[in-house]
């Protein structure tokens, strides 16, 4: 009996992880190719950043609504639809001939990305045993980082071999294969619609929005993601400008950041299962990451050491990831899982949308060092939000 439960947990965690990794791969459909688009279409950093703003505005708005759909209809149909949309966005990117085409890709990929967090966490919370849920969150974050890590290598390699348009066609093929695999194992992804605790006193669908802790969670995601967006969207360009690093080496540094984050997630998953305050783990990890990022921003380390320290920043952020998700779970009413995760994680999308508007103009002015230091300061503000989540949760 226990072995059957373990096998089911492992299968569910693996399938959800595969889907989540695919969504994070989709986050970088456009950013990893910014240097190519800059040359191909003659675009500025602000114009490139606006592509990501469109992606995450669409994703953020869609994610808030997706949570309600997940609670009403279940998670599986939305997961399948999202993967199909990512495949379509990849094919659209392969045929783009102007900035307007890239804008369309950003909007379609943003719509695809909108469902994943309410979908993933609804499946994990319903289908994984409580004693293994912390490990499920760890694997979920780990797979996301692996998706981020795979994208730069995938696109850099295939672009060098066959050109950037062929790389996007190949990406569409990857999404089709993932979708087919999940359809084959669809029985492990089935969820039930959320029910209020009491039929006599049904809970209003928007009642969760009155909880202060939900908004503290939202602010944490907003602030921490503003920093992450700088690293994802601009670190390759920043490293090239500050230290003369080649495109290939800078891209590998971004991949190393994501891989270190994945290793940090593994350790963080163990920590998240311990009886300790999740908010304090998250706060400590973010403080260390902010310090390391600020050091990179000074420009004093030189090219090689900057790449190493930037990768180590990913490890620190990764350690806090599973405890972050556990922190959100503790603050979430059981009957509102999809809705709360949809709202809270829309803060992630809004952070990604705001960040290019703040930092793109800085890079256009050549303020590369200031961009990294500014990103570190924003990450330090997220520490206050994490402690606020923990305080509010313990008051409930």
347-394 per-position pLDDT tens digit: 877 888 888 888 888 988 899 999 999 999 999 998 888 877 766 665
Judged against a pLDDT cut of 60, whether residue 203 lies above it is answered with no
Q: Are 14 and 7 in contact (CB under 8 A)?
A: no
Q: Are 168 and 94 in contact (CB under 8 A)?
A: yes
**Residue closest to 126 by CA, chosen among 239, 243, 13:** 13
| Cα separation of the two ends of the chain | 36
Distance (Å, whole) CA 135 – CA 274: 11
Q: How many whole angstroms from its chain centre is CA 14?
A: 17
Provide the CATH number for the domain formed by 2-395 in this structure.
Answer: 1.20.1250.20
Distance (Å, whole) CA 300 – CA 277: 36
Domain boundaries, the chain: 2-395
pLDDT tens-digit series, residues 286-341:
999 999 999 999 988 988 899 999 999 999 988 887 777 777 766 666 555 667 77
Under the banding of pLDDT at 50, 70 and 90, the label for residue 218 is confident
pLDDT tens-digit series, residues 15-66:
999 999 999 999 889 988 888 898 889 888 788 888 988 998 898 888 777 7
Q: Are 29 and 89 in contact (CB under 8 A)?
A: yes
The pLDDT score that the predictor gives to residue 99 is: 94
pLDDT tens-digit series, residues 115-168:
887 888 888 888 888 778 777 877 888 888 788 888 888 998 899 899 999 999
Q: Are 331 and 300 in contact (CB under 8 A)?
A: no
Where is pLDDT greater, at 201 or 250? 250
The pLDDT score that the predictor gives to residue 67 is: 73
DSSP single-letter state for residue 202: P
DSSP single-letter state for residue 201: S
pLDDT tens-digit series, residues 67-108:
778 777 778 889 999 999 999 999 999 999 999 999 999 999
* Cβ burial, residue 197 (10 Å; 0-12/13-18/19+): exposed
Mean pLDDT of 211-236: 82
Model pTM score: 0.74
Q: What is the dihedral of CA 239, 241, 244, 246, to 10 degrees?
A: 60
Q: Are 119 and 81 in contact (CB under 8 A)?
A: no
Mean pLDDT of 257-285: 79
Q: Give me the chain's average pLDDT, please.
A: 84
Q: How many whole angstroms from its chain centre is CA 36?
A: 23
| Helix 368-395 with 278-298: angle, nearest 10 deg | 170
């Amino acid at each position: 009996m226990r072995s059957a439960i373990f096998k089911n947990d492992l299968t569910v965690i693996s399938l959800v992880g595969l889907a989540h990794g695919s969504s994070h791969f989709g986050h970088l459909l456009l950013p990893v190719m910014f240097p190519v688009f800059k040359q191909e279409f003659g675009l500025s950093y602000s114009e490139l950043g606006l592509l990501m703003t469109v992606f995450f505005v669409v994703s953020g708005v869609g994610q808030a609504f997706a949570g309600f759909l997940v609670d009403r209809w279940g998670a599986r149909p939305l997961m399948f639809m999202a993967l199909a949309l990512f495949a379509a966005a990849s094919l659209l990117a392969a045929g783009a001939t102007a900035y307007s085409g890239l804008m369309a890709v950003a909007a379609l990929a943003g719509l695809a990305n909108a469902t994943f967090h309410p979908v993933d966490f609804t499946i994990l919370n319903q289908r994984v045993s409580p004693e293994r849920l912390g490990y499920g969150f760890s694997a979920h974050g780990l797979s996301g980082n692996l998706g981020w890590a795979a994208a730069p290598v995938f696109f850099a390699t295939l672009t060098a071999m066959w050109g950037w348009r062929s790389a996007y066609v190949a990406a569409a093929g990857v999404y089709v294969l993932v979708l087919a695999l999940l359809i084959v194992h669809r029985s492990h992804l089935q969820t039930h619609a959320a029910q209020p605790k009491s039929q006599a006193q049904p809970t209003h669908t928007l009642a969760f929005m009155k909880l202060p802790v939900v908004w503290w969670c939202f602010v944490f995601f907003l602030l921490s993601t503003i920093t992450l967006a700088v690293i994802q969207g601009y670190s390759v360009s920043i490293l090239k400008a500050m230290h003369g690093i080649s495109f290939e080496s800078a891209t590998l540094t971004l991949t190393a950041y994501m891989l270190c984050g994945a290793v940090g997630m593994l350790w963080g998953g163990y920590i998240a299962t311990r009886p300790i305050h999740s908010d304090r783990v998250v706060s400590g990890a973010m403080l260390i990451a902010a310090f390391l990022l600020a050091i990179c921003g000074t420009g004093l380390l030189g090219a090689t050491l900057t790449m190493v320290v930037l990768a180590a920043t990913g490890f620190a952020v990764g350690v806090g990831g599973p405890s972050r998700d556990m922190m959100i779970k503790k603050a979430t009413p059981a009957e509102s899982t999809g809705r709360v995760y949809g709202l809270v994680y829309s803060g992630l999308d809004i952070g990604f949308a705001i960040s290019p508007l703040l930092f793109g103009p800085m890079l256009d002015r050549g303020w590369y060092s200031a961009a990294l230091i500014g990103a570190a300061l924003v990450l330090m503000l997220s520490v206050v939000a994490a402690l606020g989540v923990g305080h509010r949760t313990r008051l409930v």
